[in-house]
Amino acid sequence: MTRTHVADSHDLIRVHGARVNNLKDVSVEIPKRRLTVFTGVSGSGKSSLVFGTIAADSQRQINETYSAFVQGFMPTLARPDVDVLDGLTTAIIVDQQRMGSDPRSTVGTATDANAMLRILFSRLGAPHIGSAQAFSFNVASISGAGAVTVTKHNQQVKERRSFSITGGMCPRCEGRGSVNDFDLTQLYDDSKSLNEGALIIPGYSMDGWFGRIFRGSGFFDPDKPIRKYTKRELNDLLYKEPTKIKVEGINLTYNGIIPAIQKSMLSKDVDAMQPHIRAFVERVITFSTCPECDGTRLSELARSSKINGKSIADCCAMQISDLAEWVRGLTGKSVAPLLTKLRHSLDSFVEIGLGYLSLERPAGTLSGGEAQRVKMIRHLGSSLTDVTYVFDEPTIGLHPHDIQRMNDLLLQLRDKGNTVLVVEHKPETIAIADRVVDLGPGAGTAGGTICFEGTLAGLRKSDTVTGRHLDYQAKIKDAVRTPDGALEIRGASTHNLRDVDVDVPSGVLVVVTGVAGSGKSSLIHGSLAKRDGVISVDQAPIRGSRRSNPATYTGLLEPVRKAFAKENGVKPALFSANSEGACPACNGNGVIYTDLAMMAGVATTCEECEGKRFQAEVLEYRFGGKDIDEVLTMPVTEAREFFAAGPGALPAAHRILTHLDDVGLGYLRIGQPLTTLSGGERQRLKLATHMGEKGGVYVLDEPTTGLHLADVGNLLGLLDRLVDAGKSVIVIEHHQAVMAHADWIIDLGPGAGHDGGRVVFEGTPADLVADRSTLTGQHLAEYVGAPATSGRRSSR
């Protein structure tokens, strides 16, 4: 009888007593070298278990194998709150985090495809212009010469040295591809003087330090209207470099307005700015394609070197599927290994369904789903096995037609001997799981337990929320609404759109569909989102620190603080944990952080305020019988009732809480840190903040992202309420339940990239199902269980 080797007995990842975020002592055993899908409503604890516990501890333990010196440069990770974690393997996380919006980052630089192309051109390009950095738009050409002092035979000798670096950066736009200019009319009103308030820049008030500096600089007359300034005075006001000045005996630095704005505002990530600052920047800066490099980011020298008649700029502008074909036609023994690797990298783009992108596409413009798939590329050809791959909703942004391809990739990773853990809501991906772990039963404090473990068949029979909704099929509406007008789009040609003319009906629910890369976002965001009266909710994630929470993000805290202040006759600032009311011991954090250099820092609950974040005397003030901490720990639904009527009635707060409840976030505590929210929760929080804005047209980009099957019905109810209130709602969406619920569908395609960019169908969902001439029509017909038809009608 053969005995199993002891090394083969470790076939499980064992988790016992996990308490990260809302997990309630969760214990689970996950089989290795299998595909396990984690399901459950949004906020049930899936990400806390998979990312916050299993993947986080795997990464922490790997980091600890490096020397203390190396660990000093790595992010420090605390051990998750769990009793036992056993059988972990190296975790590779492929999450939904959008790629950084650095203007210098492109699809090519993010995936190393550009690095390989640069080496290829430095070896095969004619004429030869230099090393690989001569083709890099991030390296500037510089040269210099001078005398250096060196010691020879114990004597100091001066020698002449020179150096030169040939880079590929366009000198005009500094490798950004676009040049920006300031619209001076948005900076000041030239009919007024500085003292009369000519400056219209946020934060630039003549009452504070800026006023003292401008008045005391002596460079111009603060009482003279700006339009009467001499050339020199205007230049000093706008462009003067930092200059030391003395005002009222104090040494200060005078900065011209434009260098000051560039340093304080333009150096920051646009997404991280406060809304009013972002609006100002968008008004004042005008972007246009660089006239010198025509948007390629590369210098004339870099574009002059060619292979088979194509420069590196031409290659980066090509659709990746076409570039892969071009690279296949190249030969050369000296670069054979490089060509093999480059071909594999480009073929991976096509295989993963991103062949429609180009390498010059800015990384910040990719959707969450596209960014996640770009990150997958580097793992597809990997020969590593016995690795744990962790995916966060890999089907986001995918048309039903593309989901099968993603499923094949997940199975391919598993079949190589890897453990694949997937957090997912789509039934098509749950169907391929070897094992399903369902968390719930609810969200937030109502979740955090395991409701089901087992096979797909077992999940169907279980009485869990996921099990009940797994075979849910939306029905096509019996009657559709009649539009009250149309929003005209004429000659749309953003990205891959081919001079599209389309009328988007108003006063109804319009769904724009099509495979990933067909031009949906280009059509709607490029032609409609910037119009007056249009409220656009895109996929850009909301950012927030430990100090941000739903109350601060939505503006709910403002009326609440004022109500507390008015009731108790004190200042509103006392009721902010980021201002005067903060506990002095922990600065309003609720916890005290101890930094331990390369080791994980320790966070201990503040003993003085017991984690409540406020000074003791602030907690003595009450409104409606509750103190500020009790208000912030209330869930949204409870707070909504509290502010609705009675002693706590506060209409402004009640209105915001109603929006939060409408988008399905009733279970969130209003003071819960944003860092603890899942991706789907953050997107719905963003939608709730926009619902209070005044506008007649809502544009929503994939609002079902991160939503459980059970929550999609609630979202459809919300969309109906918006339309019934007289709004026009345009949704870019792949979810068939949303398509079936539409009054009108606009389908783009037929394919992606240069195979798309056209409207292939306009009409009602019933017409689309009956027609079936497009991929969307075929998948929607299958979803609603429509019988096959023999005849086909024209789609246009």
DSSP 543-610: P--TT--HHHHHTTHHHHHHHHHHHHTS-GGGG-TTTTTB-TTTTTSSEEEEEETTEEEEEEE-TTTT
List the one residue out of 348, 293, 394, 360 whose CA is nearest residue 104: 360
CA-based torsion, 405, 407, 413, 414: positive or negative: negative
Amino acid at 178: S
- How far is residue 550's CA from residue 560's CA, in Å, rounded to a whole number? 13
Q: Given this model, what pLDDT does residue 186 score? A: 84
Q: Given this model, what pLDDT does residue 796 score? A: 39
Q: Provide the 8-state DSSP code for 81.
A: S
Q: Given this model, what pLDDT does residue 270 score? A: 60
Res. 254: pLDDT tops 80: yes
Question: Residue 93: which residues within 8 A CB-CB, separation 6 or more?
Answer: 51, 55, 59, 390
Q: Given this model, what pLDDT does residue 267 score? A: 64
Distance from first CA to last CA of the chain, Å, rounded?
Answer: 71
Answer for the pair 117, 342: CB distance below 8 angstroms, yes or no.
yes
Query: Who wins on pLDDT, 753 or 125?
Result: 125
Question: Residue 779: which residues within 8 A CB-CB, separation 6 or more?
Answer: 399, 400, 401, 736
Confidence of residue 71 (pLDDT cuts 50, 70, 90): confident
- How far is residue 528's CA from residue 697's CA, in Å, rounded to a whole number? 9
Q: Given this model, what pLDDT does residue 710 score? A: 84
- Alpha-helix residue ranges (DSSP H) falling in 669-751: 679-690, 709-724, 736-741
314, with CB counted inside 10 A (0-12, 13-18, 19+), is: middle
Res. 691: pLDDT tops 50: yes
pLDDT digits (tens, 9 = 90+) for 285-344: 877 889 999 999 999 999 999 999 999 999 999 999 999 999 999 998 999 999 999 999
Q: Given this model, what pLDDT does residue 271 score? A: 54
For residues 154-175, average pLDDT:
91
Q: Given this model, what pLDDT does residue 13 score? A: 96
Cα distances (Å, whole numbers) of residue 248 to 213, 240, 241, 341, 706 = 10, 21, 21, 66, 58
Size of the chain, expressed as the number of residues it contains:
796
pLDDT-above-70 percentage for the chain? 95
Confidence of residue 634 (pLDDT cuts 50, 70, 90): very high
- How far is residue 675's CA from residue 694's CA, in Å, rounded to a whole number? 29
DSSP 3-state of 299: coil
- How far is residue 793's CA from residue 761's CA, in Å, rounded to a whole number? 11
Q: Given this model, what pLDDT does residue 17 score? A: 97
Q: Provide the 8-state DSSP code for 22.
A: T
Q: Given this model, what pLDDT does residue 281 score? A: 81
Res. 57: pLDDT tops 90: yes
Task: Find where tokens 């991030």 sit.
Answer: 138
Q: Given this model, what pLDDT does residue 790 score? A: 41
DSSP 3-state of 489: strand
**Stretch (H or E) spanning 772:** none
DSSP 3-state of 302: helix
List the one residue out of 31, 650, 19 whose CA is nearest residue 388: 31
Kindly report whether the peptide bond that precedes residue 673 is cis, defined as omega within 30 degrees of 0.
no
Answer for the pair 789, 772: CB distance below 8 angstroms, yes or no.
yes
62, with CB counted inside 10 A (0-12, 13-18, 19+), is: middle
Confidence of residue 378 (pLDDT cuts 50, 70, 90): confident
Q: Given this model, what pLDDT does residue 793 score? A: 38
Per the DSSP assignment, residues forming a β-bridge with 165 are 142
Confidence of residue 384 (pLDDT cuts 50, 70, 90): confident
Q: Given this model, what pLDDT does residue 274 score? A: 66
For residues 71-97, average pLDDT:
87
pLDDT digits (tens, 9 = 90+) for 170-216: 999 989 898 878 888 888 888 999 888 888 888 888 887 788 888 88
pLDDT-above-90 percentage for the chain? 53
- How far is residue 514's CA from residue 400's CA, in Å, rounded to a whole number? 10
Q: Given this model, what pLDDT does residue 349 score? A: 93
From 84-93, 158-167, 325-334, 685-694, the region with the lowest mean pLDDT: 685-694
- How far is residue 558's CA from residue 155's CA, in Å, rounded to a whole number? 71
Confidence of residue 792 (pLDDT cuts 50, 70, 90): very low
- CA 729 to centroid of chain Cα atoms: 23
pLDDT digits (tens, 9 = 90+) for 728-764: 999 999 999 999 999 999 999 998 888 999 999 999 9
Q: Hey, what's the torsion of the CAs at 559, 564, 570, 574, to 10 degrees?
A: -80
Q: Taking all residues of the chain, what is their mean pLDDT, rounded to a whole number?
A: 89
- How far is residue 354's CA from residue 314's CA, in Å, rounded to a whole number? 19
